[in-house]
Amino acid sequence: MNTDELGDPDARSFLVGDGDWPFNGFIVRRQAKIFAYANICPHRRHPLDLEPHAFLIDNGNLIRCTSHGALFCPETGVCLSGPCAGHRLMALSCRADPDGSIRVSAPETLRDCYLPE
Ligand code: FES
């Protein structure tokens, strides 16, 4: 993915790997900064976007899990309100190269990154 493909604010999901457990993550661009998280809500481990790429609300100020409404800080992944308040999304190392390419370090499969209960 390239920064040219993202607005600001904007968010996009991505998959890495294949088979039964491809890794599902998402990238957030906000105020020219890039963040990446596993697409796993710490509440019930659902993907956050029931509608593809629908992560951001409030003009990009919040990430929302559409399952039960948990709200997360885009910069830290901390849940600010909802059923998992105080927990956080699994952050992924990421950067944007000078040519705009976004590089994310993600596990190969979801099986490798399930969060503790
Ligand atoms: S699964 Fe995300 S708030 Fe319940």
Q: Across the chain, what does the average pLDDT equal?
A: 91
Task: Determine the pLDDT at residue 21.
Answer: 80
Alpha carbon of 97 to ligand 1 centroid (Å): 33
Asked if pLDDT for residue 115 goes beyond 80, the answer is no
* Nearest CA owner, ligand 1 atom 4: 68
* Nearest CA owner, ligand 1 atom 1: 44
Instruction: Assign domain 3-104 to a CATH class.
Output: mainly beta
Contact 11, 5 (CB under 8 A): no
| List of residues 6+ apart from 89 with CB closer than 8 A | 37, 38, 40, 41, 42, 63, 72, 77, 79
Alpha carbon of 43 to ligand 1 centroid (Å): 5
Alpha-carbon distance values, 16 to 30, 38, 62, 115 (Å): 23, 11, 25, 18
pLDDT band per the 50, 70, 90 thresholds, residue 22: confident
* The model scores a pTM over 0.85: yes
For the segment 89-112, the average pLDDT, to the nearest whole number, is: 86
